[in-house]
Amino acid sequence: MAQHIVTSFDEELRHLDQLLREMDELAGAMTKAATKALLEGDVVLAQRVVSDDVVVDAKQRELDERAITLIAKRQPMAQDLRLVVGTIRMASDIERIGDLAKNIAKRVGAVGETKIPRELSSSIETMANLVLQQVEAVIEHYVERRPEALIQLRDDDEKIDVYYTSIFRELLTYMMEDPRNITPCTHLLFCAKNLERVGDHVTNIAENAYYIVTGEQLPVQRPKQDELSRNRGH
């Protein structure tokens, strides 16, 4: 980050970075706890995740207010304006990650006492761990100004898409084998979709972070999920 003549301006920018870190850490913790609650049927832990979403929302409001005040007071231009506006966008995506973790937690009770098959449980856990690594890394790469790592992180989202497709097929198989599986498997399908969407929001954050750091937009085109699935099958 470039140093400014007015030291307090740098402090305000650093505070925005700190708020982003705090939001990202909490959203990551919520995603981890929501998945754990889902796989273990822990309704108490799930309720804690739902409660934590209020904290993420509050931090986003604080960041937005500070960013808007900074724009009004400092009237930043060029790189500085790109940074402040980009920070607001990244905070919005992190807030959505918190919402998706909350949505997973809300379905824990609906899945109920149904025992999740070991193979499916393992697949969901593997996908969740990959998503969590993405969430935990993205703001760290941004704050440390690592553009190449941000490119790699965005490209790695395709792995999450492949896992989601695999879980989707597994769930359909369980539903076709026994109609009693339809209700719990439907809830699990929504949970897996929420995890896949967390990955999409991390991608958005990585793209915004890359633009802030380099001033350049990443190419829009990325490998499609169906292409990846086909290649995987050969």
Please write the tens of the pLDDT for every residue from 107-150: 998 886 666 777 788 899 999 999 999 999 999 999 999 999 99
3-state SS assignment for residue 206: helix
pLDDT of 59 reads 96
Q: Which two tokens stand for residue 130?
A: 């990959």
Q: Which two tokens stand for residue 110?
A: 């609906």
Q: Which CATH superfamily is domain 7-233 in?
A: Phosphate transport system protein phou homolog 2; domain 2 (1.20.58.220)
**109 in Cβ contact with 46 (< 8 Å):** yes
Q: Which two tokens stand for residue 113?
A: 């006492």
Domain range summary for the chain, segments of one domain joined by +:
7-233
Give the side-chain half-sphere CA count within 13 A for 216: 7
CA distance 59 to 185: 34
Q: Which two tokens stand for residue 128?
A: 């969740």
CA distance 192 to 162: 12
- 231 to 162, 210, 226: CA distances (angstroms): 11, 28, 9
167-223: per-residue pLDDT in tens? 999 999 999 999 988 888 899 999 999 999 999 999 999 999 999 999 999 887 665
Smallest Cα–Cα separation from 33: which of 98, 121, 120, 92? 98
Q: Which two tokens stand for residue 233?
A: 């099958």
Give this prediction's pTM: 0.88
